[in-house]
């Protein structure tokens, strides 16, 4: 099964982190990538995202593309990154997340099979 793990967290944690603290966070992501296969997970992809403040929203209305700044950040927790994993089940994904920083809330979403 393929899963996407959406990482929600307070953007201030990274923004305000010192060099050492940032290094520690990166180490945890590195450890996650290294440990995932031992939990039965294959890392397919993933990215860290810049702040929602620099996001751009686009909506298509027929031929017209409406481009705005946004989305408006209404909550402290924002999407800060994601991973794509191939895993036998949600438990394997859950276990793999033990390596990642505590300041995230992880949303595990199975990928819709369109075949």
Interface contacts to other proteins, rule CB under 8 A = 1, 3, 87-93, 108, 110, 115
Taking the complex as a whole, the smallest distance from the CB of residue 95 to other proteins amounts, in Å, to: 8
SS (H, E, C) 9-76: EEHHHHHCCCHHHHHHHHHHHHHHHHHHHHHCCEEEEEEECCCHHHCEEEEEECCEEEEEECCCCCCC
Burial class (CB in 10 A: 0-12, 13-18, 19+), 6: middle
Q: Report, in Å, the least distance between residue 114 CB and other proteins.
A: 10
CB of 106 to other proteins, least distance (A): 12
The residue (of 27 and 89) whose beta carbon lies closer to other proteins is 89
Residue (47 or 115) nearer to other proteins, CB = 115
Shorter beta-carbon distance to other proteins: residue 7 or 93: 93
């Amino acid at each position: 099964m393929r899963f996407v793990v959406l990482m929600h967290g307070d953007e201030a944690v990274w923004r305000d982190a010192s060099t050492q603290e940032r290094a520690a966070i990166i180490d945890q992501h590195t450890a996650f990538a290294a440990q995932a296969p031992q939990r039965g997970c294959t890392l397919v992809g993933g990215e860290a995202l810049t702040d929602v403040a620099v996001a751009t929203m686009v909506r298509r209305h027929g031929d017209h593309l409406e481009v705005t700044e946004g989305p408006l950040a209404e909550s402290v927790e924002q999407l800060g990154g994601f991973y794509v994993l191939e895993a036998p089940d949600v438990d394997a994904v859950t276990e793999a997340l033990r390596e990642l920083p505590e300041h995230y809330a992880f949303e595990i979403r199975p990928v819709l099979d369109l075949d």
